[in-house]
Chains A and B, each alone.
Chain A
C-alpha cells in the first residue's frame, strides 16, 4: 500500500526563525492535506492541495504540492509561539488517505 514519509520528525526553532516540513509519497497522490495538532489536542485540518505544482498561502504558512504530485511541503515564515504543535501531512491515493508521522515543532521565545 501507499506510504507517506514526513521529515523531520522534530524541529526546534527560535521564535522568528522559519520552519519547513516535507512530505513524500511512494505513489502519485490525488490530493494532499495538512493538519495541525496542538499539544493535548486533536489534529485539525489546515488545507488541501489538489493540482500539480499548486501553492497556497495562509498568512505565514505556505503549502506546496510537487509537480509529480508525490511530495509536498509546509513552510512557516517567522515562527511564533502559537505555531507550536505537530504538523501532519495526509496523502490520498484513490480514496485511501494515509497520514505521515508528523513533525513536532517547538518554538523558543
Chain B
C-alpha cells in the first residue's frame, strides 16, 4: 500500500534559484496539505486542496511561494526565487476528508545556501 510520496527527499540549491517540490497523495484521498517545519516555527500549514481546488492558502508566506494540483494524483510546491530563510523540511499530507487522519510523506529537506 503506497503512502504519500514526496520528491526529492533532499534538495540543496543556491539562493535565487527556483525550487519545485512534488507530492503524490494516496489514491482516493480528496484532501492534500502542504506543511513547512522548522525548529523556530514548528509545523506550519501552508495550503490545502480539496478535490484539486485550493481551499486555504493563508499560510503561504509570500508571493514567492505557489502551489498547484493539476490532477488528483499530483501536486507541486514552487519557490521562486528561493531564499536562505526558506530552508526547512516540507511535508505533504493527504486524507480522505477534512476531518479524517492525515497521512504524511517522508518530507523534503530543503537547504538554500
Please give the residue numbers on chain A whose beta carbons come within 8 Å of chain B beta carbons, in ascending order. 1, 30-31, 33, 41-45, 48, 88, 90, 92, 95-99, 101-102
Contact = CB atoms under 8 A, between A and B. Distances in A.
Contacts of A31: 99
A28 to B, nearest CB: 14
Contact of A42 (B56, B91, B99, B100): B91
B27 interface: no
B43 A45 contact: no
A97 B102 contact: yes
Contacts, number: 43
B95 to A, nearest CB: 8
A97 B97 CA distance: 10
A44 B100 CA distance: 13
A43 B101 contact: no
B78 to A, nearest CB: 21
Given A95-B97, A96-B98, A43 B104 contact: yes
B105 interface: yes
Closest 6 CB pairs of A and B: A95-B98, A45-B101, A42-B104, A101-B42, A92-B99, A43-B104
11 contacts: A1-B58, A33-B101, A43-B91, A43-B104, A44-B104, A45-B102, A90-B102, A92-B98, A92-B99, A95-B99, A97-B98
Interface of B: 35, 42-43, 45, 56, 58, 91, 93, 95, 97-107
A47 B43 CA distance: 19
B42 A102 contact: yes
Given A43-B43, A43-B102, A99-B35, 12 more contacts: A31-B99, A42-B105, A42-B106, A45-B101, A45-B103, A48-B101, A92-B98, A92-B99, A97-B102, A98-B45, A101-B42, A102-B42
A78 B45 CA distance: 33
Contact of B43 (A92, A95, A102): A102
A102 B41 CA distance: 11
